[in-house]
Structure 1
Amino acid sequence: MKPVFHPTKWPNFSKLKLAGSLAVALSLSTSAIAATEPSPPPAKPTPPVTGPAPTQTQTDTFHNEAALLPQDAITHHTGIFDKRKISYTAHTGTLTLRDAEGAPTARVFYVAYTQDGVDPAHRPVAYFFNGGPGAGTAYLHLGAAGPSILSFPNGNPADGANAQLTPNTESWLAAADLVFIDAPGTGWSIPTDAKKAAKAFYGVKQDAHAFAKAIQLWAQSNNRQISPRYLVGESYGGLRAIEVADALAQDQNILVNGILMISPALDMTLLDTANDILATSFVLPSLEASQLALQHKLTPENAAGRLDSAYHYAIGPFLSTLANTPLAGNAAQDFYEDVATHSGIPLETVAKERGMLQPEAHDVRSRNGRLYSLYDGTFSIADPFPEGVENGASPDPILDGFTRAYGSAFEQYAATSLNFRTPLSYSLLNMKVNEAWDYRDGGSPIVRPIPTLRRLLALNPTLRVFIANGYYDLVCPFASSRWVAEHIPVGRNRIALHTYPGGHMIYIRADSRAALAQDAKTFMTP
């Protein structure tokens, strides 16, 4: 899902992503443009065949919501992925995290899909998580990579009320086994002691250690310690993937083969448009791409050139002007006109903001009676407050709209396809987790994961990195990812940058979901 960046409070990310994309109980950003042509109806998978629950190796007694989670479930399926019939097993359940004395600290929910009849030693495993912080992994699970997806009506992608679960013929299962893990406090992952949960799990470092242990537990219990390993994170989950890769190496002696980041929050300071002019510069190319798309001027043939030109204007003339002595008179007017032309934002608004556009501001998002999304600058609804409103009171068409459907859809999917039934609501985005998050890294007030990534690339000469961004994402813009990648001194040739038509949740758009899936599967099977 994505980080959920809160535009008025730093570093509380309650309206930024995601997952891997954040605000009220749901979210990750999205691109929400339907495919231009309907896809042929996919082949239906065979009904799940239920198997016996695995034997518990240790008996624990839980006294809170964790006691309402059922035993693990095993189901058997077949599906058509990349035009191949694949038989696979789904294992749905929990992994128990423990403290130094062996007492349970959390039940971590996961769903693992493993292909039948193949050599597990050489079959890649991809571990997925969304972001938030506080987001469950249903977004990537039902949005991008799992064997089933939540499909929104053709011609009206905002209609979450009528979304349906359908087979995902582009599932990443065609290339790797898939393990979707919910962070403690999200989805159906439940800490055993709510009073101790924040200190134990709700922070950059403790979160990474928890994920590293959960991955080690799953790999050990399934004899997958030497399988090729990939981490897949969306939004804040991109930052998480870097930290988890480091924790796996340091805590569990596990080295990963690759890190895949979707719409990643690579460096929180580079997303803080209220306080950093470099972050402000990174948003401008996404605004320009959104305007070009709305004017039908962005095509597959010219997109690369247009985005490159927008990027160089933003980090060149635009950034240098913001960093210099403030302009006045005709020079200022000329600059504001340039910014208005590039961004599509009315000149009056640009002048009022002195060229430093805050994408979350209502007067930036509201144009011609339409309210545009931070998560996809091309997606809009009728503005419910055309007269103007405080930024925090202005809803996001995607964050506060149709993406809420992922939570209840996952409950339905788990019960009917995975034979996993619980009275607990699936926590799509837990704002208590989000608000309690500790972003510190040792003595630093906020984590800076890029030095960690640089160390990982230098220490592991075969580690490869895949970064995917949507053209129209104003939360984690593609320019930020490009700038970070270009400044990596060692291993730059092992970082693959991909951009797609769409927003923060690239996969909401069917054609971009297919392209992302193909690129990711190719990356995991070099």
Structure 2
Amino acid sequence: MKIFYHLTVILLLFCFSLNAQQRNTSMDTMVVTSGQVTIKGSPVKYKATAGKQPVWDDQGKIIAGLYYTYYERSDVKNRSKRPLFFSFNGGPGAASVWMHLGYTGPYKLKLDDEGYPIQPYGVEENPNSILDVADIVYIEPVNTGFSRPVDSMSDEEIAKTFFGVNADIKYLAEWINTFVTRKNRWESPKYLIGESYGTPRVSGLSLELQNRHWMYLNGVILVSPTDLGMERGTAIEPANLIPYYAAAAWFHKKLPADLQSKDLTDVLIEVEDYTANKLIPIMAKGGFLSNAVKRKTAGELSRYIGLSEKVIMEHDLRVPKAFFWKDLLRDEGFTIGRLDSRYLGIDKMNAGDRPDYSPEMKSWEHSFTPAINYYFKNYLNYNTDLRYFIGGQARPWDRTNNNTGENLRQAMAQNPYLHVMVQAGYYDGATDYYNSKYNLWQMDTSGKLRNRMSWKGYRSGHMMYLRSEDIITSNEDIREFIKTSIPKENQPAEYIRK
């Protein structure tokens, strides 16, 4: 009996070990399904490919498998003129679910008109998807979604190979090269779209794809961009937050009556002018600012951002974002959201200098997670025992040598076809809208590229596409961007002297 017992235990342990290995062994697979959705009133038939494509090291050894979802309109005969989008989210460590089921894909999460989740959870057709005009690939970097490194890699090897600004760009460019070759899409106009940390990712990829893979793009879209490695400085960084603070205060009706009676964009024009032409020079004086000017400035800021002159003085005119989220509605017992300041949170105590949690993130997580898992299994027929990482382990992240803003400028300078569009929500406190404008102003100080740069603002937050009015407008902006960035037939890629 003892021998039988030991054999049974060994067999069970072997089976458990085998099952654990089998969860992460398929690095090159795909499942193909077909579907049809109605976009802008017309039926669009498509083929969806869900699967994994390997990442190889320099010796040709598989080191990871990246999960992707690829949508192709199925009634297109000539794909040489059909735009191809590569879509990334950020984090780092965020899955592509957000833009996949929130923005551009053929199906979207069920939400109310302002973007708040509703039950029962589920998905519905996205009548604003860009699939009518472009094919789309949603890519999950390592340790997001179903993407995983091979089990044999140590934590140190994984971090060195995948978790860093430039490591991330390097392996993803290789992956895109392989994908384009496999799918025979070299002739197609190509675009990158990235959200949040996805914006330095696609900015860096634009130059990496050109210089190392000879793959030239037509467009890069930056959704809620980060600083792209461009320094702000101790004066400009706090000053540039004021327009966002003003937007959030306006939304929550915390501004004086004369400002509150104006439309949001009219208020922001005034605040932006104040920030650029008056506040930044004041901030530059730092500790050498006179008390009289400091008090006067605190009064002006109080008028624009809805906080008291007293707390602004206590922060030497430099109000941290976390404190703003905590203090704006403190007297009402609420905090406001980080990624979308329209959302309200409830803290244990009104006291303190930062919120207990981000209410918008918790709202989104509890609605997107069940929807994406249901969608993959029931719509794309993708079955796996791997857990879908909405937010995966991608730390420590090496942020050294982040020159992605300059990378994008170089890519534009080298490629006369390349256009850039920024999309930003006025109520985004994580990657605020005014700094996204500042990125464009500072990226090319010569001004020679600005006719190929555009900026679009929306009355929502970080994921501006969750609001019903904004998902219509933002997808239309992408359609117009495609038209603008595809050259006329036989138009050469050259600069012409005037």
- TM-score range relative to shorter protein: 0.7 to 0.9
Q: Are the counterparts in 2 of residues 270 and 276 from structure 1 also a CA contact under 8 Å? A: no
Q: Are the counterparts in 1 of residues 329 and 335 from structure 2 also a CA contact under 8 Å? A: yes
Could you give the per-residue CA deviations for residues 154-175 of structure 1, whole angstroms, max 9, x where no partner exists? Answer: 57x5446644311100001011
Following the alignment from structure 2 to structure 1, what is the Cα–Cα distance between the partners of residues 260 and 195? Answer: 26
Counterpart of 2:268 in structure 1 is 307
Following the alignment from structure 1 to structure 2, what is the Cα–Cα distance between the partners of residues 525 and 221? Answer: 27
Once the 2 structures are TM-superposed, how far is the Cα of residue 366 of structure 1 from its aligned partner?
A: 4.7
The 5 A counterparts of 1:201-240 are 201-240=162-201
Following the alignment from structure 2 to structure 1, what is the Cα–Cα distance between the partners of residues 483 and 262? Answer: 28
Q: Are the counterparts in 1 of residues 73 and 131 from structure 2 also a CA contact under 8 Å? A: yes
Q: Are the counterparts in 2 of residues 471 and 503 from structure 1 also a CA contact under 8 Å? A: yes
Once the 2 structures are TM-superposed, how far is the Cα of residue 109 of structure 1 from its aligned partner?
A: 0.5
Any unmatched runs of 5+ in structure 1? 1-61, 442-446
Following the alignment from structure 2 to structure 1, what is the Cα–Cα distance between the partners of residues 24 and 261? Answer: 49
Counterpart of 1:120 in structure 2 is 79
Alignment pair present for 1:522 and 2:480: yes
Following the alignment from structure 1 to structure 2, what is the Cα–Cα distance between the partners of residues 108 and 363? Answer: 39
Counterpart of 1:55 in structure 2 is none
Could you give the per-residue CA deviations for residues 50-78 of structure 1, whole angstroms, max 9, x where no partner exists? Answer: xxxxxxxxxxxx94742267941100111
Pair 1:456–1:301, CA change in 2 (3 A): farther
Counterpart of 1:147 in structure 2 is 106
Following the alignment from structure 1 to structure 2, what is the Cα–Cα distance between the partners of residues 233 and 255? Answer: 17
Q: Are the counterparts in 1 of residues 83 and 190 from structure 2 also a CA contact under 8 Å? A: yes
More divergent stretch after superposition (514-523 vs 340-349): 340-349
Once the 2 structures are TM-superposed, how far is the Cα of residue 405 of structure 1 from its aligned partner?
A: 2.6
Pair 1:218–1:282, CA change in 2 (3 A): same
Q: Which residue type is aligned with residue 129 of structure 2? A: S
Q: Are the counterparts in 1 of residues 28 and 54 from structure 2 also a CA contact under 8 Å? A: no
Pair 1:268–1:375, CA change in 2 (3 A): farther
**Identity rate of aligned residues, in percent?**
23
Query: Which has the higher relative contact order, 1 or 2, with Cα contacts under 8 A spaced 6 or more apart?
Result: 1
Alignment pair present for 1:475 and 2:430: yes
Alignment pair present for 1:370 and 2:334: yes
Aligned partner (choices 417, 424, 439) of residue 462 of structure 1: 417
Q: Are the counterparts in 2 of residues 79 and 86 from structure 1 also a CA contact under 8 Å? A: yes
Following the alignment from structure 2 to structure 1, what is the Cα–Cα distance between the partners of residues 172 and 286? Answer: 47
Counterpart of 2:146 in structure 1 is 188
Counterpart of 1:450 in structure 2 is 405
The 5 A counterparts of 1:310-349 are 310-326=271-287, 327=289, 329-349=291-311
Pair 1:78–1:401, CA change in 2 (3 A): closer
Following the alignment from structure 1 to structure 2, what is the Cα–Cα distance between the partners of residues 223 and 69? Answer: 21
Aligned partner (choices 395, 413, 431) of residue 357 of structure 2: 395
Q: Secondary structure at the residue paired with 1:265?
A: coil
Alignment pair present for 1:436 and 2:399: no
Q: Which residue type is aligned with residue 167 of structure 2? A: Q
Alignment pair present for 1:97 and 2:97: no
The 5 A counterparts of 1:209-288 are 209-268=170-229, 270=231, 276-288=234-246
Q: Which residue type is aligned with residue 405 of structure 1? A: S
Q: Secondary structure at the residue paired with 2:461?
A: coil
Q: Are the counterparts in 2 of residues 70 and 421 from structure 1 also a CA contact under 8 Å? A: no
Q: Are the counterparts in 2 of residues 373 and 380 from structure 1 also a CA contact under 8 Å? A: yes
Q: Are the counterparts in 2 of residues 209 and 251 from structure 1 also a CA contact under 8 Å? A: no
Could you give the per-residue CA deviations for residues 436-467 of structure 1, whole angstroms, max 9, x where no partner exists? Answer: 111112xxxxx132221221111111110010
More divergent stretch after superposition (306-315 vs 490-499): 306-315
TM-score (norm 2): 0.85
Q: Are the counterparts in 1 of residues 333 and 350 from structure 2 also a CA contact under 8 Å? A: no
Pair 1:276–1:377, CA change in 2 (3 A): farther
Q: Are the counterparts in 1 of residues 28 and 65 from structure 2 also a CA contact under 8 Å? A: no
TM-score (norm 1): 0.81
Pair 1:70–1:227, CA change in 2 (3 A): closer
Following the alignment from structure 2 to structure 1, what is the Cα–Cα distance between the partners of residues 336 and 45? Answer: 42
Q: Secondary structure at the residue paired with 1:121?
A: helix
Q: Secondary structure at the residue paired with 2:347?
A: coil
Following the alignment from structure 1 to structure 2, what is the Cα–Cα distance between the partners of residues 417 and 210? Answer: 29
Which has the larger helix fraction? 2
The 5 A counterparts of 1:62-81 are 63=21, 65-67=23-25, 71-81=29-39
Counterpart of 2:389 in structure 1 is 427
Q: Are the counterparts in 1 of residues 117 and 367 from structure 2 also a CA contact under 8 Å? A: no
- Max Rg structure: 2
Counterpart of 1:31 in structure 2 is none
Q: Which residue type is aligned with residue 132 of structure 1? A: G
Q: Which residue type is aligned with residue 187 of structure 2? A: I
Pair 1:257–1:154, CA change in 2 (3 A): closer
Following the alignment from structure 2 to structure 1, what is the Cα–Cα distance between the partners of residues 417 and 477? Answer: 19
Q: Are the counterparts in 1 of residues 110 and 117 from structure 2 also a CA contact under 8 Å? A: no
Could you give the per-residue CA deviations for residues 77-125 of structure 1, whole angstroms, max 9, x where no partner exists? Answer: 1111121111100000011111122210110100000011211111000
RMSD: 2.5
Q: Which residue type is aligned with residue 486 of structure 1? A: W
Once the 2 structures are TM-superposed, how far is the Cα of residue 312 of structure 1 from its aligned partner?
A: 1.9
Q: Which residue type is aligned with residue 210 of structure 1? A: Y
Q: Are the counterparts in 2 of residues 136 and 427 from structure 1 also a CA contact under 8 Å? A: yes
Following the alignment from structure 1 to structure 2, what is the Cα–Cα distance between the partners of residues 187 and 315? Answer: 41
Once the 2 structures are TM-superposed, how far is the Cα of residue 293 of structure 1 from its aligned partner?
A: 2.6
Counterpart of 2:349 in structure 1 is 386
Alignment pair present for 1:173 and 2:131: yes
Once the 2 structures are TM-superposed, how far is the Cα of residue 422 of structure 1 from its aligned partner?
A: 1.2
Counterpart of 2:495 in structure 1 is none
Following the alignment from structure 1 to structure 2, what is the Cα–Cα distance between the partners of residues 404 and 354? Answer: 39
Following the alignment from structure 1 to structure 2, what is the Cα–Cα distance between the partners of residues 223 and 70? Answer: 17
The 5 A counterparts of 1:36-55 are none
Following the alignment from structure 1 to structure 2, what is the Cα–Cα distance between the partners of residues 346 and 112? Answer: 51
Could you give the per-residue CA deviations for residues 357-376 of structure 1, whole angstroms, max 9, x where no partner exists? Answer: 11122644552211101212
More divergent stretch after superposition (136-145 vs 196-205): 196-205
More divergent stretch after superposition (340-349 vs 182-191): 340-349
Once the 2 structures are TM-superposed, how far is the Cα of residue 472 of structure 1 from its aligned partner?
A: 1.2
Counterpart of 1:505 in structure 2 is 463
Q: Are the counterparts in 1 of residues 45 and 73 from structure 2 also a CA contact under 8 Å? A: yes
Aligned partner (choices 363, 375, 384) of residue 413 of structure 1: 375
Q: Are the counterparts in 1 of residues 24 and 386 from structure 2 also a CA contact under 8 Å? A: no
Q: Secondary structure at the residue paired with 1:388?
A: coil
Once the 2 structures are TM-superposed, how far is the Cα of residue 277 of structure 1 from its aligned partner?
A: 3.0
Q: Are the counterparts in 2 of residues 127 and 232 from structure 1 also a CA contact under 8 Å? A: yes
Alignment pair present for 1:486 and 2:446: no
Q: Secondary structure at the residue paired with 2:299?
A: helix
More divergent stretch after superposition (313-322 vs 490-499): 313-322
